[in-house]
């Protein structure tokens, strides 16, 4: 059985780039770490919250790459020879977490609070636009 893409729907024109973006995101390797929440804060705004205990602001980077919000975490290398862990249950591994952004969604501020990284997103409400296309007569000129 072959996979049906958006191109299989004749009324969906120009969505091939979106299909590629969704496929790339599905393959991006988000393995569940770090855990996160997405909450809707209004009709046109959202907040992504990632649990990043043990990471400081300088250990994290937030970028927008080809309509994807990418959050990366990498802790600075500390001198492990000085520390002896009897149990190490707090994850300190590097991570990358990606979120696809729809057209018109803008990233607002990012805030660290109590081991949580909050990233605010908003979409401007587009004005309703009606455009009339003139029809010219074909045939001999």
Render pLDDT for 67-86 as a digit per residue (tens, 0 to 9): 889 999 998 766 566 778 89
CB atoms within 10 A of CB 30: 14
Distance CA 54, CA 118 (A): 15
For the question of whether the overall pTM of this predicted structure is more than 0.75, the answer is no
Q: Is residue 131's pLDDT more than 60?
A: yes
pLDDT grade for 45, boundaries at 50, 70 and 90: very high
Backbone phi, psi, residue 26, to 5°? -65, -30
| 121 closest CA partner among 32, 30, 41 | 41
**32-77+88-124: which CATH number, 3.40.50.1110, 2.60.40.790, 3.20.20.330, 3.40.50.300?**
2.60.40.790
Contact 73, 84 (CB under 8 A): no
**Residue 65, exposed/middle/buried by CB under 10 A (0-12, 13-18, 19+)?**
exposed
What's the chain's average pLDDT? Answer: 84
pLDDT grade for 49, boundaries at 50, 70 and 90: very high
Of residues 112 and 90, more confidently modeled:
112
């Amino acid at each position: 059985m072959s996979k049906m893409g958006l191109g299989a729907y004749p009324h969906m024109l120009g969505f091939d780039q979106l299909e590629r973006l969704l496929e790339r995101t599905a393959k991006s390797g988000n393995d569940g770490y770090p855990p996160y929440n997405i909450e809707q804060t209004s009709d046109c705004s959202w907040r992504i919250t990632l649990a990043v205990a043990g990471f400081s602001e300088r250990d994290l980077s937030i970028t927008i790459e080809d309509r994807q919000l990418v959050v990366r975490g990498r802790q600075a290398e500390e001198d492990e020879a000085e520390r002896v862990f009897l149990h190490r249950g707090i994850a300190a591994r590097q991570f990358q977490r990606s979120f696809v952004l729809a057209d018109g969604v803008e990233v607002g501020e990012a805030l660290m609070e109590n081991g949580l990284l909050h990233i605010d997103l908003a979409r401007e409400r587009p004005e309703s636009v009606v455009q009339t296309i003139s029809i010219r007569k074909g045939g001999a000129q």
